[in-house]
Structure 1
């Protein structure tokens, strides 16, 4: 059969695969919502759910208005992206290349959909770290800037043809572009926001604030795990050839095994440190493994993927404890899971991919962290000056559900 006759079929298959993977990543929004609502206290559940569903809508609109054009409209090797055409502009190309010279194409709308759900994922990371004491509208104001400008700029550097891409930086599905960026923005917010009242005593004691619904948190972890197959699998961009189909299969296997490695490592470390099987550490260990393998899930062997995940599972436990020592209050462990594990994943890429350079990977880590931290610190600071970041002490004590949303998630347990 003439190879040109296969192009329409390849186009349809790759577009369909891209859309299905994008839908799986969109479902990760539900995972974040369930995980975070399970790990916060009952009086703050409605507000964290509101954050998660509204940020998804904001992310999609802002990325459509300018984020996508910033991320993929710049010149090769550049630092500052250009403001190009919107996704719906009549002058924009209807299809985009799905690989190298002469490769089949897929719909540009499918590309936009896949990219926009990544933007929402990045912003979802922030919501858990600033939970239980940030004003809802302050958070949403930051989400607008994060999704419209901060995330697309560093995304352009690494994926859109900017200086990191031309330097050889490797970040297959976003350990740095998505996860490290989200964690870094969260860190800047947590520094300015401060800890929850009563979390850290004057004598140095660290008080635990147990989550209200661990079954819900566990469900959220499983949903994220499931969605991650689209997150990493879709980043192969196509699967209509034998080599791409094999690569997708490797990505799925390695993604799953990295999560298992992180989970088991966190379980063992928690047992050694605490004498118990700490479920929250186990959940974060699985997620840490997923974050770490996201930088390069195609080239490791199955054993290597498991070990990469296991190292992330160890790191995340110690990082969560270290942040508490530093009085950086992160209710769900988002900074540790997505930040530290994201850095480890990026630096581990050369272990299995000979085309990657440790020096360039380190440059990518430094560039993403510096840009996102400084830009986020500026935006959080401006929001603090204009409207304030924290709810009042009274509202924090009563719970932000009533103060910010006017309703409770579990009224039968708290009201007569």
Structure 2
């Protein structure tokens, strides 16, 4: 009897499989592979936000660490909501040349995987601003600017280039976003920094004072995380598990980043007699931003050259912004994402294997690339600049002098990232330890200090 029941179950399961399962075809297998690759890439791009958080916090002072982390966490959450509600529709909806007009809240959108991939891109653009305005911008003001960037300003640029808008019709090439993502974020950051002003003590007359970050090892970890995530950022932009294209994209990504590191290290050695660690770390990011536009369109040697040039441009760009224009950017975001983003976009017109100037394609593509760059700079400057100006006029965008001196961790969040370390090294606890107090007694003092923040000494 048991054997008969078992046979019936087996036969029934076979029949149900043959009746209800969709037939397996080459097209269905390829679709599954393509979808899986894009989803993996989306997760890699999402993980890049951990890299941004580490770079920005490591390159900032300890007293602002929590504030930097909160901005990064809020950016990905707010950006995802906004991109779902309006951003995706503006970027990929039915086009009128300027913006999309359909698909709000994903109404009528079937490819949810494509939305997911693009949503993490939108948050990446917005978070570029976080590092540039670190240590002195009100959290609420930053959130409002993020809402504008992720919900409207960035999607409009994306529509122009990737959504069938007017720039794409010219033949503009930006495979993964040197201009769409990175330059857009950098221009928004520039406008915020202009209205915000420099940190206290950064500039004294003609003197430029260095304000070093508190944890370069954490910044280095962030760079490696970003580099790892960038393989998804560029590779996933193929939108298919193409065995011919994806390996090329990943290889050009690797080589350009390596070129950025080598040239920035050597150039700082030549310029300043020592290899600058923070600039060299940013050199990797400069090389990555530089290759993002043409990662699928240039040769491996072309990628190496683009990265090498990006590293030198980065060093001089940071010096220009810091000493000449006096735009105080604690993490170098404007130079990395803006100046290297411009270079990467223009480089396509030179190194594109099919239509680049150096490959006999003439200067037409180079001209189109320049038009696209100028158009995006103009749009984002106007839209982001107006947003920051309105916020500054209505309620101010900068914390008070006292709050900036104390640090935004305590001023904005009522806590500190390194509370335990700071309290254990405070004069009261040091005196207790010197007078023979044991660990339990010191920890009891630590607990009472945490419960009574007014008892703490602000440095």
* TM-score computed with the length of structure 2 as normaliser: 0.84
Are 1:382 and 2:390 an aligned pair?
yes
Are 1:123 and 2:123 an aligned pair?
no
Q: 1:373 aligns with which of 358, 376, 381?
A: 381
Q: 2:102 aligns with which of 70, 84, 87?
A: 84
- 1:332 aligns with 331
Contact 1:31–1:223 (CA under 8 A) maintained in structure 2: yes
CA RMSD of aligned residues (A): 1.3
1:4, distance to aligned residue in structure 2 (A) = 9.0
1:93, distance to aligned residue in structure 2 (A) = 4.4
In 1, distance between residues paired with 2:106 and 2:201? 50
Contact 1:138–1:387 (CA under 8 A) maintained in structure 2: no
Contact 1:66–1:83 (CA under 8 A) maintained in structure 2: no
Contact 1:74–1:162 (CA under 8 A) maintained in structure 2: no
Q: 1:57 aligns with which of 77, 81, 84?
A: 77
In 2, distance between residues paired with 1:111 and 1:125? 22
Q: 2:400 aligns with which of 366, 372, 392?
A: 392
- 1:289 aligns with 287
Moved more, 348-357 or 287-296: 348-357
Q: 1:195 aligns with which of 169, 194, 198?
A: 198
In 1, distance between residues paired with 2:389 and 2:103? 31
- 1:102 aligns with none
Consecutive unaligned residues of structure 2, counting only runs of 5 or more, are 1-22, 357-364, 427-459
Contact 1:34–1:220 (CA under 8 A) maintained in structure 2: yes
Contact 2:86–2:105 (CA under 8 A) maintained in structure 1: no
SS of the counterpart of 1:245? coil
- 2:157 aligns with 154
Deviations 1:50-106 (A, max 9, x none): 00001110000000000000000132xx432133123542xx142xxxxxxxxxxxx
1:351, distance to aligned residue in structure 2 (A) = 2.4
1:154, distance to aligned residue in structure 2 (A) = 0.8
- 1:207 aligns with 209
1:367, distance to aligned residue in structure 2 (A) = 0.8
Are 1:346 and 2:345 an aligned pair?
yes
Are 1:29 and 2:49 an aligned pair?
yes
Are 1:68 and 2:76 an aligned pair?
no
* TM-score computed with the length of structure 1 as normaliser: 0.92
In 1, distance between residues paired with 2:331 and 2:140? 20
- 1:264 aligns with 262
- 1:229 aligns with 231
In 2, distance between residues paired with 1:79 and 1:137? 33
In 1, distance between residues paired with 2:212 and 2:109? 51
Contact 2:97–2:164 (CA under 8 A) maintained in structure 1: no
Deviations 1:30-61 (A, max 9, x none): 00000000000000100000000011100000
Distance change >3 Å, CA 281–CA 275, structure 1 → 2: same
Higher relative contact order (CA 8 A, sep 6+): 1
